[in-house]
Amino acid sequence: MDARTGLLRPPEAPSPEAGATLTIDLGAIRRNYRRLKEMAAPAETAAVIKADAYGCGIEAVAPALQAEGCRTFFVALVSEGVRARAALGDGPRIFVLNGYPPACAETYRKSDLLPVLGSIEEIAAWDAEAGTPAAFHVDTGMNRLGLHPSDLARDDLAASIANRPPVLLMTHMACADEPRHPLNRRQIAAFDEIRARLPEIPASLANSAAIINGWTWNTDLARPGIALFGGRAVSGIENPVEPVVRLDARIIQTRRVRIGETVGYGATWTAQRDSLIAFVSMGYADGYHRSATGGDGRPAGFAALDGRHLPLVGRVSMDLVALDATGLADDEIVRGTTVEMIGPTVSVDDVADAAGTIGYEILTGLGQRYARVVIDSEAG
Interacting residues with ligand PLP (CB under 6 A): 48, 50, 97, 172, 207-209, 223-227, 233
Q: Which residues of 287-320 are buried (b: 16+ CB within 10 A; e: fewer)?
A: bbbebbbbeeebebbbbbbeeeebbbbbbbbebb
Rounded CA gap, 185 and 172, in Å?
Answer: 13
Q: Which of 33, 50, 284, 370 is catalytic?
A: 50
Residue nearest to ligand PLP (CB): 225
Q: Which is nearer to ligand PLP, 11 or 225 (CB)?
A: 225
Q: At closest approach, how far in Å is the CB of 260 from ligand PLP?
A: 46
Q: Which of 37, 108, 110, 265 is catalytic?
A: 265
Contact 71/93 with Cβ under 8 angstroms? yes
Q: Which is nearer to ligand PLP, 226 or 247 (CB)?
A: 226
Q: Taking the chain, what is the end-to-end CA distance rounded to the nearest angstrom?
A: 21
Q: At closest approach, how far in Å is the CB of 279 from ligand PLP?
A: 34
Q: Which is nearer to ligand PLP, 37 or 223 (CB)?
A: 223
Cis upstream peptide for 179 (omega within 30°): no
Strands of 258-363 (E only): list them.
262-263, 269-270, 275-280, 302-305, 308-313, 321-324, 338-342
Q: Which is nearer to ligand PLP, 97 or 104 (CB)?
A: 97
H/E segment holding residue 190? helix 182-197
Residue 265 among the catalytic residues = yes
Residue 370 among the catalytic residues = no
DSSP reduced 3-state for 309: strand
Q: Which is nearer to ligand PLP, 35 or 315 (CB)?
A: 35
- Name the percent of the chain in helix, strand, coil, to the closest 5: 30, 20, 45
Q: At closest approach, how far in Å is the CB of 60 from ligand PLP?
A: 18
Rounded CA gap, 101 and 78, in Å?
Answer: 8
Nearest alpha carbon to residue 115 among 140, 132, 138, 92? 132
Q: At closest approach, how far in Å is the CB of 98 from ligand PLP?
A: 9
Q: Which is nearer to ligand PLP, 11 or 224 (CB)?
A: 224
Q: At closest approach, how far in Å is the CB of 288 from ligand PLP?
A: 21
Q: At closest approach, how far in Å is the CB of 349 from ligand PLP?
A: 13
Q: Which is nearer to ligand PLP, 142 or 158 (CB)?
A: 142
Contact 118/147 with Cβ under 8 angstroms? yes
Nearest alpha carbon to residue 323 among 258, 260, 264? 264
Q: Is the dihedral of CA 152, 153, 154, 159 positive or negative?
A: positive
Could you give the C-alpha distances from 171 to 38, 126, 147, in angstroms and in order? Answer: 22, 19, 9
Could you give the C-alpha distances from 219 to 114, 301, 362, in angstroms and in order? Answer: 19, 40, 30
Q: At closest approach, how far in Å is the CB of 344 from ligand PLP?
A: 22
Backbone angles phi, psi at 176, to 5 degrees: -65, -25
Catalytic center residues: 50, 265
